[in-house]
C-alpha cells in the first residue's frame, strides 16, 4: 500500500466525497511498503484510534508512540508520517473529515468561533489521546461507535456520524479554550516546518532527475552543509537516502502494473536497471522481478 501525493506532498487520496466528506478506514502500518507512510498533509482533520499493536507517529516536529487503546487528534494541514515501531504490527482506525463538515456555511459562527479557533492555530497541530484521561477516552469511545456504524450503517448513518464528530469537536474546543491565554495565541509560522515542506516538495517534484545537494540547498536558501544537517535532523535520513526511498516507493506502482524493470528504472530516476535492482533489493528484500511475480505483496 502507498499514499498518493501531489508534487507538494499534499495527499490526493479522497477522504469521503463532497456530499459526505468523511473517510472511515481501518489501516495497518505493516500493509504500507517498507512499513511506513511518508510525510504528507491534507486539509482534512484526522482522528486515529489504535486498535492493536503500536505505531510511531510524527506530526510536524512532534514524535508520538501510540499504543493499543490510545489515539491522536491531527489538525488540518499538518505534516505527518508513520512508521512501524520495532517491527511490530499495528492496526488502527483513521477517521478523516473536512472542517466544513462541522460548520456548514462559510463564515458562520460555527466556523469562525469554534472551528477556525482550532484549525488556524499552528500550536495545536496534534494531541495524543491518552488512556488515563477520561475525556480522551470519551473521544476514543466515540471513534469506536463510528467504526461500528461504518460496519453496519443504519438508516440515519450520516446523521449519527455527524453528531459523534460534533461531540468530539466540542470536547476538543472546550479543552483548547480552557488553556491559558498565552497558549491560545498562534505563534508566528514555524520557519523550519515551512522550509521542510519546501524541501520535500522540491525533491518530490524532481526525484526522477539527478538532484545535487547544491540544488536542494538553493531551493530553501541555505548553504549545502546546513541543508544536510537540517534534513537529517527532521527526517531521520539524509537527502540522498530520502531520494532513493522515494524512487523505490514510486517504482512499486509501475511494477504492479506490469511495467518492465528497465523502463521502471528510468521512470523513477535510476541511471541503470542494475543500480535500480541493487537499491530495490536493499529496501524491499527482493528483486524487482520477484516483487512483480509475488503480485506486489
| Interval 180-222: pLDDT, tens | 877 766 565 577 878 888 898 899 889 999 999 999 999 999 9
15-20 — which CB contacts under 8 Å span 24+ positions?
A: 15/42, 15/44, 15/96, 15/97, 15/98, 16/96, 16/97, 16/98, 20/158
Q: Any idea where the domains of the chain sit in the sequence?
A: 22-183, 191-293
Confidence (pLDDT) at 115: 97
Indicate whether this model's pTM tops 0.75.
Answer: no
Q: How far is residue 139 CA from its own chain's centroid?
A: 20
- Whether residue 2 contacts residue 33, with contact meaning beta carbons closer than 8 Å, is answered with yes
SS (H, E, C) 73-140: EECCCCCEEEEEECCECEEEEEEEECCHHHHCCCCCHHHHHHHHHHHCCHHHCEEEECCCCHHHHHHH
Specify the DSSP element, H or E, that contains 13. none
Report the C-alpha gap between 140 and 131 in whole angstroms. Answer: 9
What tens digit of pLDDT does each residue of 66-110 get? 999 999 999 998 889 999 999 899 999 999 999 999 999 999 999
Which numeric CATH code is attached to 191-293?
Answer: 1.10.10.60
Q: Give me 294's grid cell.
A: 509475488
Alpha-carbon dihedral 261, 13, 239, 274, rounded to 10 degrees? 0
Confidence (pLDDT) at 54: 96
Q: Which residue stretches of the chain have pLDDT < 70?
A: 1-16, 33, 184-189, 296-297
What are phi and psi for residue 186, nearest 5 degrees? -60, 135
Q: Do domains 22-183 and 191-293 have the same CATH topology?
A: no
Per CATH, the homologous superfamily of domain 22-183 is Regulatory protein AraC (2.60.120.280)
Amino acid at each position: 500500500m502507498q499514499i498518493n501525493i501531489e508534487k507538494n506532498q499534499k495527499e490526493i487520496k479522497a477522504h469521503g466525497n463532497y456530499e459526505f466528506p468523511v473517510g472511515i478506514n481501518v489501516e495497518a502500518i505493516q500493509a504500507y511498503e517498507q512499513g511506513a507512510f511518508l510525510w504528507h498533509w491534507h486539509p482534512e482533520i484526522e482522528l486515529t484510534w489504535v486498535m492493536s499493536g503500536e505505531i510511531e507517529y510524527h506530526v510536524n516536529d512532534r514524535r508520538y508512540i501510540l499504543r493499543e487503546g490510545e489515539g491522536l487528534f491531527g489538525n488540518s494541514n499538518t505534516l505527518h508520517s508513520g512508521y512501524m515501531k520495532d517491527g511490530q504490527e499495528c492496526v488502527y482506525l483513521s477517521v478523516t473529515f473536512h472542517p466544513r463538515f462541522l460548520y456548514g456555511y462559510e463564515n458562520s459562527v460555527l466556523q469562525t468561533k469554534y472551528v477556525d479557533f482550532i484549525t488556524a492555530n499552528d500550536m495545536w497541530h496534534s494531541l495524543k489521546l491518552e488512556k488515563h484521561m477520561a475525556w480522551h477516552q470519551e473521544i476514543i469511545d466515540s471513534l469506536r461507535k463510528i467504526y461500528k456504524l461504518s460496519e453496519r450503517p443504519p438508516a440515519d448513518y450520516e446523521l449519527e456520524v455527524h453528531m459523534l464528530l460534533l461531540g468530539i469537536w466540542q470536547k476538543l474546543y472546550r479543552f483548547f479554550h480552557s488553556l491559558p491565554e498565552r497558549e491560545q495565541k498562534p505563534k508566528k509560522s514555524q520557519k523550519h516546518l515551512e522550509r521542510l515542506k519546501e524541501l520535500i516538495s522540491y525533491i518530490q517534484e524532481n526525484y526522477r532527475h539527478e538532484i545535487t545537494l547544491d540544488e536542494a540547498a538553493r531551493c530553501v536558501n541555505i548553504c549545502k552543509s546546513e541543508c544536510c544537517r537540517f534534513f537529517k535532523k527532521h527526517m531521520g535520513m539524509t537527502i540522498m537516502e530520502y531520494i532513493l526511498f522515494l524512487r523505490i516507493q514510486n517504482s512499486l506502482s509501475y511494477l504492479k502494473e506490469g511495467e518492465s524493470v528497465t523502463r521502471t528504472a528510468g521512470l523513477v530516476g535510476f541511471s541503470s536497471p542494475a543500480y535500480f535492482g541493487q537499491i530495490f533489493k536493499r529496501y524491499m528484500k527482493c528483486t524487482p522481478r520477484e516483487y512483480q511475480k509475488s503480485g506486489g505483496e
